[in-house]
Structure 1
Amino acid sequence: MRAALGLGWRLLRAGGRKGLLGAALTALAVTVSTALLLFAVSANLAFEGRGDREAWRNPVPAQGRAVAVQSVRVDYVRDERITVVELAALEPGAPPPPGLDRFPAPGEVWLSPALAELARRLPADQLAGRFAGGRGGTVGDEALVHPGELVAVRGWAPDSPVLAGKGTDEPRGEVAPTRISDFTGEPTPDAQGYRILALIASVLMAVPLLVFGGAAARLTVARRDQRLAALRLVGATPGQVVAMTAAEAVITAFAGAVAGTLLYVLLIPPLTGIEIAGGSWFAADLWPGVPYTLAVLAAVPLLVGLSAVVGLRRVVVGPLGVAKRETPPGMRFVRVAVLLAVLAVVPTLSVGSGGGMIAVVLGLAFLSINLAGPWVVGLIGRITAGTARGPARLLAGRRLVDDPRAAWRTVSGVALTGFVAGFVVLLNPSADLLGEADASRLRLSVPAARADAVAAGARERLTAAGVRAGTEITGEGGEKVLVVALGGGRAAAPGKSGKGEKADTPVDALVDAPVDARVDAALVDRARTALDGLVPGRRATSTADDDRFGHVLIGDIGTGTIVVLTVSFLVAVVSAGITAVSSVLDRRQTYALLRLAGTPLQVLDRARRAETLIPLAVMGGGSIAVGLFCALPFAITGLDAGGLATLLACVLLGFAGVVGAGAASAPVLRSVTENPAPRPD
């Protein structure tokens, strides 16, 4: 193996300026692939890390001896969510929760850095008044989902009314008082949902990267095959040819993988600013760790080396045919049959199929498109050559027929991006899906026996806080709801029946005047603060609060779509540019002979563009259609105007990227045809 590495390194250095340029293109392709692959892996691990840090707030009931009681409530300020964890120790020496140096004492409040800063910045009657008591310290990063998360941890006595509730149907994100033996907890349903979405996004990013990385080994393949075929004809054994090829590919790919790792490290700081699930990221979240980094550093060169070796069958078995530049045998329809078989499985999927199954099917669809692509390109070439009415289209068609694999490598990045675009546009709901909720009416659950007293206390507190509002008691049974309408109206006379209330129920209602739903955020926060603690363990919320998670999720899906499409387009454009230059280098002798025969450079340039744009139009459209089909089982809404605009933008960007990449390779074409005299390769 040492001899093979040495010979491979010598051949790499002895390849001349054009050979070194080909090796540099391969290294650049691997650099981009490695950096983006590390990002895809890190994104998946980052959501897992977030779920682990949040798990302590989703307690598991104690099976044996309990050491503490824990409940979780959700509050809001300035439309931002505050997670409030209520704790009481059941015995001395109870272990502290994550992020705290010790267990909070009764009456003690610990705030996260962002919440403490916000409490200092806002007037006390809008936020700080909700967290009266001694300050115990700061909640550490190991207990926070993201750096700007608003979290409060409060200590109580075990017999506090705050921890006496038995809630059975808690709102999203809240947990009824639970006796616990530790703070292990388990991932929340929301965290698990985000992990599934992250897994799907990782597949949408990683599979094209792996395809691109494997294709990097086939750059300047024609020149390499000619050189290796000559070595076979002078006596090199198949094993020596395979070893030299693998060594050359691995050396180049390893250099690119190291450069890609360094590039990703430089990208981590700006990537932490991408806001998902309510906040940005800790830098440690986006670092995959040494084991995963080493795995990528080993896997990428191995993939490139394996891809290079797989393409050696003709060199090893028939070196004379390679040396004579014979057209390889055509590909079989079984490539398309594999794609059709994978698509037949798609209608059996649903949202409940599980993230793993969905990711597997998407990965297989990606690979099947990549497998069927060269066969379709060959068919397009035969049609193009048969219908050609000029030399440029004829040359383009014959080129597609002669080497459909090379032509597919030029457009595969954009075609796979079309699949991604078609898939994500149906999963990207409009921001108008949930409508505009009312933030001006706060609701507070109250025991029926205390409804009148709570309503009176609410009016007193609101008046003292300078908040103009009316109150109304609604509901039946043991639990009623106090509705506080902010910003307008007048209170009904005592003893009169209010809206939504039976005539025999005591009523304090605001019912006669409309309420402006666009009340000032400061007014809402003052009302929340005034009502805090009125009913132990309960907080005032609005219908806007109920819809807040849906709005965040819709925004996150949009952000994820932008990230996935950005990665896909970056891969597509880089792939198109590198493979276009590589294709010119591969065929420089053919181009030189055509120029020597009198073919104008403009005709060669038009033929080169046609052999890219014609299959791109067909395969790009087909890939978008396949993506739309794969998304149908999970579609949230139909293809609305926003989704159609996104799809159109993807098509335009894809074509513009390929055209730009082709234009970038035009100087290389001029360079290789400047001296058309044939020379030994």
Structure 2
Amino acid sequence: MNLDLTWRLIKGGGRKGMLGTWLTFGAVAVATALLLFAVAANFAFQARAERGAWRNPVPATTGAVAVEAQRFDFVRDQKITVIDLAALKGADPEAPPGLPRFPAPGEVWLSPALAELADELPAAELAARYPKRAGVIGDEALVYPGELVAVFGQAPDAPAMTAPRLDDWVMSRPPVKVASLAGEPSEDAVAYQWLSAIAGVLMVVPLLVFGGAAARLTVARRDRRLAALRLVGATPGQVVAMTVTEAVLVALAGALTGAVVYALSVPLLTRIEMQGGPWFAGDLLPGPLLLAGALVAVPLLVGLSAVAGLRRVVVSPLGVAKRETPPAMRIFRVLALFAALAVFPLLSRETSVTLIAIALALAFLCLNLAGPWVVGVIGRIAAKSARAPAGLLAARRLVDDPRSAWRTVSGVALTGFVAGFLGLLSPGAFEEVTGPPQLSVSVTEGKLAEVAGQARDRLKEAGVTATVEPRDKAVVAALGSSADAATLDRARTALAGLVPGHTPTTQEEGRRFGSEILADIRVGTIVVLSVSFLVAITSSGITAMSSVLDRRQTYGLLRLAGTPLEVLDKARRSETLIPLTVMGGGAILTGVFCGLPFMLGEPNVTGALTLAVCVVAGFAGVVGAGALSRPLLRSVTTDPAPRPD
């Protein structure tokens, strides 16, 4: 019975009533698709960390079966991960991931992309580094598609496994005796998981707020309709049941559509390069539990949000029907925000990710809680200072229904918080290395002259012109100013194995990880802000249209009373731009305050530009999204006798 009555009421609202239902459907679909992306990204980084864990060995306390070491090589400005493996005498270690068996001494296994590149380039530039290729590594051993990986089989007493290596985390990890190749996530993988968790909070909380707000679209029209039912005898239980049924059915349909949209978007999302390369589609596809959780959580959130707004309908249906102004909100909303912000000066980059994520989530939620109260204050100030009819209409609207006005600008305000927080974290760039390329190989003391002589002979034999000299516990080969990428790779191949366990690298390659993680932070910033702005603009457009539908009778009566359409449209714009200016700026400052403990050095031009672009894009997006509701405003005011809801 409730389902039948709910469906009749939805259809009874006419074409514009159904438009409100479609707006809720669209809002939930967008929120679900972006929520799946935000959560799946965290699982994707975890999957990468697990696939790469075998390269980061855990030293064996007992029962060692193999020796493992790692270093990095380069070709054409691309990083090659090189793993040296040696089975201990009498041991039978398990096969590494992606290999059919443990590599024998002298064998080399290459990833598909590296094998293809070795076949494409001249042998003197790459293939000569791998004289005995035994096969191809499977994808289960790769962090991302197209990764360049080489696995060398070594004897346990080979120089590559016994010679001392630098343990600098970035370029080389010394040989370690291991009981298995299970390993653990590397420090860089943990760092990326840390960053993805923070980014997840910055995306998920606004999405949950947006999803909850979806249940409140066209809320005034629905509340008046339900209040009328209460006045003719409907019980509170029937009102709640009808509301939940309508909200959950629309939300479930929207959530299913959002899941489909996200699944169709995965091939495009895999092209976002981070941590060295793109993504496997399986990493970004939501698992059954995540998908089921989203399809249950989103409709549940929408249903709870809809029920939470029924208090006045159930308790005072006559007041709703008469459109009485609800009681003013309490100042505790702002006090809660101040309490949440008081936590941030106590945090630092050494604080656990969990605590930082909780603090950010609380700041987000308290900002959303304080927003309507501040909008109400803004409305009262604007009403006292109004000098034109449009300004007065806008101010009275802000005072009468600050929650609805906040929903229109909340997306951009929360995005301003994200922009302010990330603006301080946007790193600068390393200074570029100028001059001819130089290859450097670390050498133990006492052998500098010997290794330098060997380097000269190898480079001469390879036809590479270079000046070789010992320098600071290393042999440095300075190539000519005319050296190109091919010459550099020929020189690198000629020097391969010169010092066992050490790779010839340039100064730029020596800080490759630092440059890579800074670039990835910038990419992550763009992704997070893109999601936030998509939520903000979608939220602004949908809530602006639903606000017009909520007040279509009021707009129609004002037009019948002679109010020009231009005045109504200007009032509609003002009730968005006035709180947006105050709340957007306040949210940005709040984000900056929360980001202070995590600054990466001094503020830089990149961060300032990020903030400036966000401010411009935010205002332009809201104005553009709001303009879409102008035709609807014209439509609802053309009826000379507006029908009551």
Coarse TM-score class (shorter-chain normalised): over 0.9
Write the distance in 1 (CA, Å) between the matches of 2:286 and 2:435: 42
Q: CA deviation at 1:58?
A: 0.3
Match of 1:444, SS? Answer: strand
Aligned to 1:507: none
Letter of the 1:550 counterpart: G
Aligned to 2:374: 376
Q: CA deviation at 1:6?
A: 4.1
Q: CA deviation at 1:664?
A: 0.6
Aligned to 1:19: 17
Q: 1:595 to 1:159 in 2, by over 3 A?
A: same
Aligned to 1:616: 580
Letter of the 2:93 counterpart: A
Write the distance in 1 (CA, Å) between the matches of 2:168 and 2:373: 56
Q: CA deviation at 1:212?
A: 0.5
Aligned to 1:60: 58
1:548 aligns with 2:512: yes
**Do the aligned partners of 1:439 and 1:542 also contact (CA within 8 Å) in 2?**
no
Aligned to 2:455: 458
1:482 aligns with 2:475: yes
1:248 aligns with 2:246: yes
**Do the aligned partners of 2:165 and 2:502 also contact (CA within 8 Å) in 1?**
no
Write the distance in 2 (CA, Å) between the matches of 1:450 and 1:624: 58
Aligned positions of 1:198-217 closer than 5 A: 198-217=196-215
Q: CA deviation at 1:166?
A: 4.4
Q: CA deviation at 1:185?
A: 0.3
**Do the aligned partners of 1:442 and 1:483 also contact (CA within 8 Å) in 2?**
yes
Write the distance in 2 (CA, Å) between the matches of 1:586 and 1:651: 29
Q: 1:678 to 1:451 in 2, by over 3 A?
A: closer
Aligned to 1:110: 109
Aligned to 1:425: 423
Aligned to 1:671: 635
Higher mean C-alpha deviation, range 139-148 or range 441-450: 441-450
Aligned to 1:128: 127
State TM-score, norm by structure 1. Answer: 0.92
Write the distance in 2 (CA, Å) between the matches of 1:6 and 1:677: 29
Q: CA deviation at 1:79?
A: 1.6
Aligned to 1:503: none
Match of 1:78 among 76, 79, 84: 76
Q: 1:533 to 1:639 in 2, by over 3 A?
A: closer
Higher mean C-alpha deviation, range 404-413 or range 350-359: 350-359
Q: 1:413 to 1:84 in 2, by over 3 A?
A: same
Write the distance in 1 (CA, Å) between the matches of 2:254 and 2:606: 38
Q: CA deviation at 1:437?
A: 6.8
Letter of the 1:123 counterpart: P
Write the distance in 1 (CA, Å) between the matches of 2:442 and 2:578: 65
Match of 1:352, SS? Answer: coil
**Do the aligned partners of 2:425 and 2:607 also contact (CA within 8 Å) in 1?**
no
Letter of the 2:466 counterpart: A
1:531 aligns with 2:495: yes
Write the distance in 2 (CA, Å) between the matches of 1:9 and 1:110: 64
Q: 1:5 to 1:637 in 2, by over 3 A?
A: farther
**Do the aligned partners of 2:66 and 2:91 also contact (CA within 8 Å) in 1?**
no
Q: CA deviation at 1:259?
A: 0.2
Letter of the 1:485 counterpart: A
Match of 2:467, SS? Answer: strand
Q: How big is each residue's C-alpha offset from its partner over 1:140-181, in whole Å with a ceiling of 9 and x where there is no partner?
A: 111111102110001122221111134463451522111112
Q: How big is each residue's C-alpha offset from its partner over 1:294-342, in whole Å with a ceiling of 9 and x where there is no partner?
A: 1011000000000000011101111110011000001111111111111
Percentage of identical aligned residues: 63
Q: 1:437 to 1:182 in 2, by over 3 A?
A: farther
**Do the aligned partners of 2:236 and 2:314 also contact (CA within 8 Å) in 1?**
yes
1:98 aligns with 2:101: no
**Do the aligned partners of 1:438 and 1:544 also contact (CA within 8 Å) in 2?**
no
**Do the aligned partners of 1:437 and 1:544 also contact (CA within 8 Å) in 2?**
no
Write the distance in 1 (CA, Å) between the matches of 2:475 and 2:486: 21
Q: 1:438 to 1:95 in 2, by over 3 A?
A: farther
Q: CA deviation at 1:399?
A: 0.5
Aligned to 2:44: 46
Q: How big is each residue's C-alpha offset from its partner over 1:418-475, in whole Å with a ceiling of 9 and x where there is no partner?
A: 11111111111122x4443777222222233433332221111010011111222234
Letter of the 2:68 counterpart: Q
Aligned to 1:569: 533
Letter of the 2:528 counterpart: V
Write the distance in 2 (CA, Å) between the matches of 1:9 and 1:180: 65
Match of 2:85, SS? Answer: strand
Match of 1:351, SS? Answer: coil
Write the distance in 1 (CA, Å) between the matches of 2:559 and 2:500: 87
Write the distance in 2 (CA, Å) between the matches of 1:623 and 1:30: 24
Write the distance in 1 (CA, Å) between the matches of 2:640 and 2:415: 37
Match of 2:606 among 642, 652, 655: 642
**Do the aligned partners of 1:272 and 1:282 also contact (CA within 8 Å) in 2?**
yes
Aligned to 1:446: 443
Write the distance in 2 (CA, Å) between the matches of 1:51 and 1:375: 44
Aligned to 1:502: none
Q: 1:232 to 1:546 in 2, by over 3 A?
A: same
Match of 2:177, SS? Answer: strand
**Do the aligned partners of 2:553 and 2:644 also contact (CA within 8 Å) in 1?**
no
Match of 2:502, SS? Answer: coil
Letter of the 2:50 counterpart: D
Write the distance in 1 (CA, Å) between the matches of 2:156 and 2:519: 40
Letter of the 2:139 counterpart: D
Aligned to 1:496: none
Write the distance in 1 (CA, Å) between the matches of 2:581 and 2:260: 36
Write the distance in 2 (CA, Å) between the matches of 1:19 and 1:39: 31
Aligned to 1:337: 335
Write the distance in 2 (CA, Å) between the matches of 1:458 and 1:410: 68
RMSD: 1.5
Q: CA deviation at 1:543?
A: 2.0
Aligned to 1:436: 433
Write the distance in 1 (CA, Å) between the matches of 2:434 and 2:243: 63
Match of 1:426, SS? Answer: helix
Match of 1:447, SS? Answer: coil
Letter of the 2:119 counterpart: R
Write the distance in 1 (CA, Å) between the matches of 2:172 and 2:55: 9
Write the distance in 2 (CA, Å) between the matches of 1:450 and 1:390: 86
Letter of the 2:159 counterpart: P
1:157 aligns with 2:158: no
Runs of 4+ in 1 over 4 A off after TM superposition: none
**Do the aligned partners of 1:434 and 1:550 also contact (CA within 8 Å) in 2?**
no
Aligned residue pair count: 644
**Do the aligned partners of 1:378 and 1:404 also contact (CA within 8 Å) in 2?**
yes
Higher mean C-alpha deviation, range 96-105 or range 211-220: 96-105
Q: How big is each residue's C-alpha offset from its partner over 1:78-129, in whole Å with a ceiling of 9 and x where there is no partner?
A: 2211111111122364210001111111111110111111111111111111
Higher mean C-alpha deviation, range 566-575 or range 226-235: 226-235
Write the distance in 1 (CA, Å) between the matches of 2:431 and 2:39: 32
Q: CA deviation at 1:654?
A: 1.0
Write the distance in 2 (CA, Å) between the matches of 1:677 and 1:24: 25
Q: CA deviation at 1:597?
A: 1.2
1:397 aligns with 2:395: yes
Match of 2:264, SS? Answer: helix
Write the distance in 1 (CA, Å) between the matches of 2:104 and 2:436: 35
Aligned to 1:32: 30
Write the distance in 1 (CA, Å) between the matches of 2:618 and 2:446: 66
Aligned positions of 1:598-613 closer than 5 A: 598-613=562-577
Match of 2:306, SS? Answer: helix
Write the distance in 2 (CA, Å) between the matches of 1:315 and 1:590: 20
Aligned to 2:187: 189
Q: How big is each residue's C-alpha offset from its partner over 1:172-222, in whole Å with a ceiling of 9 and x where there is no partner?
A: 152211111211100000000000110111111111111000000000000
Q: CA deviation at 1:234?
A: 1.7
